[in-house]
Amino acid sequence: MLSIYITSFIVGGLICVIGQLMMDVGKLTPAHTLCTLVVAGSILDGFGLYEPLIDFAGTGATIPITSFGNALTHGALAEAEKHGIIGVLTGMFEVTSSGISAAIVFGFIASFLFKSKRTI
Amino acid sequence: MDEKKYQQLEQQLTPKPAYLKNCLAAFITGGFVCLIGQFVALFYITFFDFTERTASNPTVATMIFFAMLLTGFGVYKKFAQFAGAGSAVPITGFGNAVVSSAIEHRSEGYVLGVGGNMFKLAGSVILYGVFSAFAVALIKSILVALGVISW
């Protein structure tokens, strides 16, 4: 029970270190780094490697942006398994909907609540 | 000064990033964000009807809510300056990108400003996520249909 908190911290931290190295050593912009990580997450799920990581690290694997690519691929694959190749399109947002809908809803609410002061 | 000499000089003068310090900051802050997420997940598992697996959806939404508050009060920017990738890579960084673009562009109106610019920064993440997921799932479906691999 306690070990999931430790693995979550370590795995989540390590994914961020990979991102930091891509920015510092690879000289990528943050946007390029995030896109690369998302693509990496979806490729890992294609090989069935991301789910074991979630079992091992809990939110350490689901909070980093790599899980966004994983969730998209996972929904597409699950639906493709049921309905054939058309499921690739219809199932894509099945799993990951909460991240995008939360971002849209809270982003819109924030635009009512807060005044601009260079928040990026 | 010719071009080669200029490049050499530029390389000498550009400060080297503090690799170790940056990585340590990213590790600790990124790990800490995930640890908070684990406690949020525990909250959903204990008080609502979620399992370890399904708890990740409401957890992600809650973390984006936290990111909205921190972004709105201008705290996330300061956190990001210290944390580097530790603030950008977790889903809170995605939330920060959406929320901050929405706030920044409010002066241009709610439809063209907020609506049109909300995904200015985060849109590329969605595009590459969706397209790579499409490609991976399509390739895997075709391979399964051909009998090369199984689900």
Choose the closest CB to B30 out of A5, A15, A62. Answer: A15
ipTM entry: 0.89
Do B40 and B61 lie in a common domain? yes
CB pairs under 8 A between A and B: 278
Please judge whether B136 and A20 are an interchain contact, meaning their C-beta atoms are less than 8 angstroms apart: no
* Segment among A24-38, A93-107, B7-21, B121-135 with least mean pLDDT: B7-21
Do B131 and B89 lie in a common domain? no
Judged against a pLDDT cut of 50, whether residue A18 lies above it is answered with yes
Judged against a pLDDT cut of 60, whether residue A118 lies above it is answered with no
Averaged pLDDT, B128-133 = 93
Which residues make beta-bridge pairs with B90? A64
**Distance set, CA A110 to CA B103, B104, B114 (Å):** 7, 10, 10
Query: How far is the C-alpha of A103 from the C-alpha of B60, rounded, in Å?
Result: 10
State which residue of chain A sits closest to B118, comparing Cα positions: A107
- Mean pLDDT of the residues in chain A: 88
Judged against a pLDDT cut of 90, whether residue A10 lies above it is answered with yes
What b-and-e string marks burial along B83-116, b requiring 16 or more CB atoms within 10 Å of the CB?
A: bbbbbbbbbbbbbbbbbbbbbbbbeeeeeebbbe
Judged against a pLDDT cut of 50, whether residue A119 lies above it is answered with no
Instruction: Collect all residues with Cβ–Cβ distance below 8 Å to A42 and sequence separation of at least 6.
Output: A69, A70, A72, A73, B129, B132, B133, B136
Grade residue A35 by pLDDT with cuts at 50, 70 and 90. very high
Do B116 and B136 lie in a common domain? no
With pLDDT > 90 as the criterion, what percentage of chain A qualifies? 53
List pLDDT tens digits, range A46-96: 998 999 999 899 899 999 999 999 999 999 999 988 888 888 888 888 887
Do B67 and B95 lie in a common domain? yes
φ and ψ at B104, to 5 degrees? -55, -40
| B85 part of a folded domain | yes
Instruction: Collect all residues with Cβ–Cβ distance below 8 Å to B42 and sequence separation of at least 6.
Output: none
For chain B, how many structural domains are there in total? Answer: 2
| B7 part of a folded domain | no
Please judge whether A85 and B138 are an interchain contact, meaning their C-beta atoms are less than 8 angstroms apart: yes
**Token pair belonging to A20:** 């930091």
List pLDDT tens digits, range B89-105: 999 999 999 999 999 88
B 47-76 residues inside an 8 A Cβ radius of A: 52-53, 56-61, 63-65, 67-68, 71-74, 76
Judged against a pLDDT cut of 90, whether residue B135 lies above it is answered with yes
Do B115 and B133 lie in a common domain? no
| B46 part of a folded domain | yes
List pLDDT tens digits, range B29-57: 999 999 999 999 999 999 998 888 888 88
| B5 part of a folded domain | no
Do B132 and B77 lie in a common domain? no
Domain that holds residue B149: 121-151
Q: What is the 3-state secondary structure (H, E, C) of A49-104?
A: CHHHHHHHHCHHHHCECHHHHHHHHHHHHHHHHHHHHHHHHHCCCCCCHHHHHHHH
Do B151 and B115 lie in a common domain? no
Judged against a pLDDT cut of 70, whether residue B59 lies above it is answered with yes
Question: What is the distance in angstroms between the CA of the first residue and the CA of the last residue of chain B?
Answer: 62
Please judge whether B99 and A60 are an interchain contact, meaning their C-beta atoms are less than 8 angstroms apart: no
List pLDDT tens digits, range B69-96: 999 888 898 888 888 899 999 999 999 9
Q: Minimal Cα–Cα distance from B100 to chain A, Å?
A: 6
| B140 part of a folded domain | yes
State which residue of chain A sits closest to B92, comparing Cα positions: A63
Query: How far is the C-alpha of B7 from the C-alpha of B58, rounded, in Å?
Result: 50
Judged against a pLDDT cut of 50, whether residue A100 lies above it is answered with yes
Do B59 and B131 lie in a common domain? no
Supply the pLDDT for residue B66.
93
Find the farthest-apart pair of alpha carbons in chain B and give their distance in angstroms, rounded. 69
Q: Running DSSP on this structure, what letter comes out for residue B17?
A: P
List pLDDT tens digits, range B12-24: 887 777 888 989 9
Which residues make beta-bridge pairs with A64? B90
By CB atoms closer than 10 A (0-12, 13-18, 19+), residue B120 is middle
